[in-house]
């Protein structure tokens, strides 16, 4: 009954479509960084921005970092590790500024919060 009443009340009402304001643009950004999609690609989504706030940089997710050859884990600044060597891995920077290796084994002390395969 409610649907019938509402349908009769809205019979002459014009349907308005949502439109994006002219000062806004919709672009695809990387899920992990919120920046433009890097050349290596990443999973992405569309996001709307005011034109003056559109991200203008591409952050590569592949970076050279120090890795312990025996454990495969990331070596952090200040750690003395004679087994460290530079390797290219999938890395993001947390909001705290801490680098997180996404494809390295997780450490027991929790410095690397997750591993994504």
Rounded to the nearest 5°, which phi and psi values hold at 47?
Answer: -140, 145
> Rounded distance, CA 59 to CA 10, Å?
49
For residue 9 the two structure tokens come to: 């009340």
- pLDDT value, residue 37: 92
Length of the chain: 117
Give residue-wise pLDDT tens across range 15-72.
Answer: 888 888 999 999 999 998 889 998 888 899 999 999 999 999 988 888 899 999 988 8
Contact yes or no for 23/51 (Cβ under 8 A)? yes
- 76: exposed, middle or buried (C-beta count within 10 Å: 0-12, 13-18, 19+)? middle
Read off the pTM.
0.59
């Amino acid at each position: 009954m409610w649907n019938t009443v509402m349908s009769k009340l809205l019979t002459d009402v014009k349907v308005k479509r949502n439109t994006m304001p002219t000062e806004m643009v919709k672009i695809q950004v990387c899920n992990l960084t919120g920046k433009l999609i890097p050349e290596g690609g990443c999973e992405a989504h569309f996001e709307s921005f005011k034109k003056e706030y559109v991200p203008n940089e591409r952050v590569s997710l592949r970076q050279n970092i120090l890795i312990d050859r025996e454990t495969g884990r990331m070596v952090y600044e200040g750690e003395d590790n004679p087994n460290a060597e530079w390797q290219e891995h999938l890395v993001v920077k947390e909001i705290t500024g801490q680098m997180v290796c996404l494809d390295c084994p997780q450490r027991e002390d929790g410095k690397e919060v997750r591993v994504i395969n």
